[in-house]
Structure 1
Amino acid sequence: MALVTAAPLLLALAGLVHPRHLTGATAEHWATLHIFLLPLFPFLVLGLVVPLWGRPRRDVEGVLTVVSWAGCLCFAAYYSGLDAVAGISAGTVVEHGVHGAAGRLFYVGDELGRAGVYGLAVASSATCAVLWRRHGVRVLPGAVVLLASCWSFVDSHIFWPRGVLTMLGFAVAFALLTLAASRFAEDVRPGWLG
């Protein structure tokens, strides 16, 4: 459970100290925080990868698993681009007094981030479809929270309050999906079949 919830919980904590606005006074903190966040954001997808771990089957579930992996890769690449451009680069140029460039960096970063979150939403939908096929209605609470979190993430980043709540939503969703999948595994162990 810790493996799938660690990244969103750490991102929620980071959201509590993330400056609300990029100014000359917050620029150094802004850039430094995004340097630390750069390797953390890609780990958000562990909540989708772990429940699908293993070689994909050669049926619809296999296709959906590959779609999920592709969406996870899209998220990791493009959302890292957001952090690099609108986080590290924008913070650095504002810190050095080049305020005019920040607007363009934010625009490019927002586009990269949006593409990444759309990839995450595709991966989330595909993962939920696979888990639904495997485990049935047990995955519904986690799936609902997960898809709501994806919707919120499109424009909330990790900014307080909504971004922090979005990250907590991912943690809850990943925990619910992992629990639903593990309960099913316990139910089908030979000792439980009587």
Structure 2
Amino acid sequence: MPTIRNIALVTAVPLLLAAAGLTHPTGLSRSTATDWTQLHIVLLPVFPLLAVGLLVPLWRRPRADLAGIATVAAWTGAFVYAAFYTGLDAVAGIGAGTAVEHAANGTDPRLLKRPLYHTADHLGHIGVYALICAVLATAVALMARHGVRVLPGTAVLLVAGWSFVDSHIFWPRGVWTMLGFALGFALLAWATSGPVSGSSSAAESAA
């Protein structure tokens, strides 16, 4: 049961984002500005929760060793992702959508969007690269307890993370990216549900 619960916890957000990507406007214009803005308002608290997929398998007090240091690094990367990707969502989603929706007649929407997109891209890139670093740190932290079982999920998450750099949740690649996160998180949750490795178990028993 804990395995099923954890898989449900770590896949809920990427699956929700994948579903949202199916309705995400493909571009921002006067005709799509209202939907664009409202969707990003709804998703504002959702995007940061993507990091839950890493926090659930890491949910224990870090030890004073390499695995513990990697755990803290993963937590830090997850926090940076949550903060900076929220910035992208607010600037390119809510800010740009509101600006285009209320622009004066005759104003070229591209002139309004371009500087906002430029800033948002920088924020988003910092956030996604931090998430990729968090994935790597999570793998280091979990391998001490679960061995190579964590590698398939890590590999899937790294591919999804690289795609996330410029795919957002736009159909089709963004949706597939979110499904990739769901698969990677599920594999990681499954891998960490088994018994810990012998060396780690002995070390913890002696502690």
Q: Would you call these one fold, judging by a TM-score over 0.5? A: yes
2:28 matches 1:16: no
- Give the structure-2-normalised TM-score: 0.88
C-alpha distance in 2 between matches for 1:148 and 1:134? 24
- Determine the structure 1 residue equivalent to 2:145: 134
Q: CA deviation at 1:169?
A: 0.3
2:184 matches 1:176: no
2:168 matches 1:157: yes
C-alpha distance in 1 between matches for 2:33 and 2:179? 26
Cα deviation 1:7-57 (Å, max 9, x = unaligned): 000000000000111011000000000001100001100110010102110
C-alpha distance in 1 between matches for 2:195 and 2:20? 34
- Determine the structure 2 residue equivalent to 1:54: 60
Cα deviation 1:159-178 (Å, max 9, x = unaligned): 00000000000000000000
C-alpha distance in 1 between matches for 2:20 and 2:136? 26
Identity, % of aligned positions: 59
C-alpha distance in 2 between matches for 1:77 and 1:152? 19
Cα deviation 1:142-173 (Å, max 9, x = unaligned): 11101111110000000000000000000000
- Determine the structure 2 residue equivalent to 1:192: none
2:18 matches 1:7: no
Number of residue equivalences: 188
C-alpha distance in 2 between matches for 1:101 and 1:62? 46
Computing the radius of gyration over CA atoms, which structure comes out larger, 1 or 2?
2
C-alpha distance in 2 between matches for 1:184 and 1:39? 34
C-alpha distance in 2 between matches for 1:184 and 1:91? 49
Question: What is the correspondence of 1:180-191 to structure 2 with a 5 Å cutoff?
Answer: 180-184=191-195
C-alpha distance in 2 between matches for 1:155 and 1:109? 11
Unaligned ranges ≥5, structure 2? 1-6, 202-207
C-alpha distance in 2 between matches for 1:42 and 1:78? 9
CA RMSD of aligned residues (A): 1.6
Q: Given the alignment, which residue of 77, 80, 90 partners 1:74?
A: 80
